[in-house]
Amino acid sequence: VLRNAVHVEEGEVEKCVRDVMKEKKIEQKDTGFKTNLHISLLQISGYKKLYLNVENLRKVPYDSDNEEHEEQLIELWNLLMPHENLKGRITKQWCDIGFQGDDPKTDFRGMGLLGLVNLVYFSRHYTNEARQILSRSNHPKLGYSYAIVGINLTEMAYSLLKNGALKSHLYNMVCGLPQMEHFHQFYCYLVYEFDRFWFEEEPESIMHFNQYREKFHEKIKGLLLDCDVILTLQN
């Protein structure tokens, strides 16, 4: 019963709690235990469901024939560059927000639509911070490709979710089912903190990006080992 409890779906949690209490001979009127077990099982099943939702979004390739995909890409531009109009869909202007070439769709290959959704989420919910970080990313000596780094940080957030490192963070943050919103919030934290980390470290050049990315990754993994951890930006 206990072993199966961590694999139950949301709708089965209530029955599972009763079964565990019966099996362990815990009084059904012990509401404190019942509530805590219910929350714990929701968090465990919710974490697995969240990973599947994130994975499914990652598997969706960016499709320039998909109107919704294109709308999100244009929204990203408008949020970051409100005073400059795009001259066309395929244009070198995309490099101004840190894409590699004339068409951003090629940069989403690794993380699929998840990379774009993360970038848009940060720009939409933390618009001022996103514009400040974009501005800082154009620093003559310490600059980096804003969008490319953002997609790279999506991969970091995804891998931490996949290997279970985000469990304490999400369990502390949500009394129940973790949602996609909570994953996006963690991503926002990574973007903000990476920018600060990068400028504190003052790398010699962007050629050392992988080395500093790994150092930042280790720092975040260390923070996530704290059982009381919550890593988020606050509006």
Given 59, 78, 109, which residue is the final one in a domain? Answer: 59
Q: How far is CA 51 from CA 4, 6, 23, 177, 194, in A?
A: 19, 15, 30, 12, 23
**Same domain? 121 vs 202:** yes
**Residue 170: pLDDT band with limits 50, 70, 90:** very high
Give, in degrees to the nearest 5, the angle at Cα 45 between 43 and 50: 85
Query: Is 71 a member of any domain?
Result: yes
**Same domain? 201 vs 216:** yes
Which pLDDT belongs to residue 234?
64
Given 11, 32, 59, which residue is the final one in a domain? Answer: 59
% the chain with pLDDT above 70: 99
Closest CA to 142 of 213, 216, 96, 199: 199
**Same domain? 89 vs 196:** yes
Q: How confident is the model over 64-100, as pLDDT tens digits? A: 999 999 999 999 999 999 999 999 999 999 999 999 9
> Which of helix, strand or coil describes residue 175?
coil
What is the span of the domain harbouring residue 203?
A: 64-225
Which pLDDT belongs to residue 5?
82
**Same domain? 50 vs 112:** no
Query: Is 232 a member of any domain?
Result: no
**Same domain? 10 vs 33:** yes
Q: How far apart are CA 20 and CA 4, in angstroms?
A: 10
**What is the 3 state secondary structure string of 4-63?**
HHCCCCHHHHHHHHHHHHHHCCCCCCCHHHHHHHHHHHHHHHHHHHHHHHHHHHHCCCCC
Query: Is 5 a member of any domain?
Result: yes
**Residue 2: pLDDT band with limits 50, 70, 90:** confident
Give the mean pLDDT of 169-186: 94
Q: What is the DSSP annotation of 54-118?
A: HHHHHTS---TT-HHHHHHHHHHHHHH-TT---S-SS-GGGGGGT-SSS-GGGGGTTTHHHHHHH
Give the mean pLDDT of 182-207: 96
**Same domain? 160 vs 182:** yes
Phi, psi of 28 (to 5 degrees): -65, -25
Whether the per-residue pLDDT at 103 is higher than 80: the answer is yes
Query: Is 235 a member of any domain?
Result: no
Whether the per-residue pLDDT at 31 is higher than 90: the answer is no
**Quick one: angle between helices 67-80 and 127-137, nearest 10?**
70
Query: Tokens in use for 107?
Result: 């940069």
**Residue 122: pLDDT band with limits 50, 70, 90:** very high
How many domains, in total, are found in the chain? 2
Give the mean pLDDT of 11-38: 88
User: Residues 75, 120: contact at Cβ < 8 Å?
Assistant: yes
**Same domain? 88 vs 130:** yes
Question: Model's pTM, two decimal places?
Answer: 0.92
Given 14, 44, 59, which residue is the final one in a domain? Answer: 59
**Same domain? 164 vs 68:** yes
Whether the per-residue pLDDT at 127 is higher than 60: the answer is yes
Q: How far apart are CA 110 and CA 115, in angstroms?
A: 8
H/E stretch holding 226: none
**Same domain? 30 vs 141:** no
Q: How far apart are CA 121 and CA 116, in angstroms?
A: 8
